Amino acid sequence: MDVQGGNSLRNVGVRDCKALTDTKILELAEVIQKTALAYSVLVMKPHAYNMRYEQVQKQGGNLNTLLALGHIAALKQTWQKYPECNRAVVDQFANNEVIPDGVHAFAPEMKVFQRPRAEEDIAVAAASVLARAAFLQTIQELGQEAGIGRIPKGGGEAATNAARRLVQKQGAGILGNYVKLHFANTQKL
């Protein structure tokens, strides 16, 4: 993200996705895609997520490990599109060396900054909007594919009830294609 692009995105209202409505997120995602020098969004649907999470656990990792690997993959794809990029800002959530070590494997000169509340940086805020937009689109596709209509977001009772309807309609074996199996909701079924 260059300074001009960052200023442009600030002016149209880009900020942390948690402060935006779903409609605004989808609208801003289009603007970001046209403005950013390069971007990459890693979408991991539930089936792939469940398999990858199990692999990470078997190797002694946890959810933060999986998240860090996703960040590294997205940063690598972005860097491949725009190798002039020499700086990455990431929200601090994992061991301080996991992401920098992963990034330096493909871009040794890139400076990686990890900090709490990184979404205050316009590039990180824009990334949060792109990621949330991809999530919203994917959850809509999954609901249609499952034949149960809208899949509720989050882990509340509505999500548990939707999973129950899915199990009743298609059987428990299909659940891993539509939900994260390690979530507490799954244990309630």
Name the architecture of domain 3-138.
Answer: 2-Layer Sandwich (3.30)
149 — pLDDT class (breaks 50, 70, 90): confident
Rounded Cα distance between 117 and 11, Å, is 20
Rounded Cα distance between 103 and 124, Å, is 16
186 — pLDDT class (breaks 50, 70, 90): confident
Return the HEC string of the chain: CCHHHHHHHHHCCCCCHHHCCHHHHHHHHHHHHHHCCCCCCCCCCHHHHHHHHHHHHHCCCCHHHHHHHHHHHHHHHHHHHCCCCCEEEEECCCCCCHHHHHHHCCCCCCEEEEECCHHHCHHHHHHHHHHHHHHHHHHHHHHHHHCCCCCCCCCCHHHHHHHHHHHHHHCHHHHHHCCCCCCHHHHCC
Q: What is the pLDDT of residue 7?
A: 96
- Say how many Å lie between the first and final Cα of the chain, rounded: 44
Rounded Cα distance between 73 and 49, Å, is 14
Q: What percent of the chain has pLDDT over 90?
A: 78
- Reported as a single tens digit per residue, the pLDDT across 102-146 is 999 999 999 999 999 999 999 999 999 999 999 999 999 999 999
Q: What is the pLDDT of residue 188?
A: 76
Q: Which amino acid is at 124?
A: V
Q: What is the pLDDT of residue 93?
A: 85
Residues of the chain with CATH 3.30.420.10: 3-138
The structure's pTM equals 0.92
- Reported as a single tens digit per residue, the pLDDT across 56-104 is 999 999 999 999 999 999 999 999 999 999 999 999 987 778 999 999 9
Contact 38, 82 (CB under 8 A): yes
42 — pLDDT class (breaks 50, 70, 90): very high
Please state the length of the chain. Answer: 189
47 — pLDDT class (breaks 50, 70, 90): very high
Q: Which residues pair with 90 in a beta bridge?
A: 114
Q: What is the mean pLDDT of residues 4-23?
A: 97
Q: Is the per-residue pLDDT at 148 higher than 90?
A: no
Q: Which residues pair with 87 in a beta bridge?
A: 111
Contact 138, 126 (CB under 8 A): no
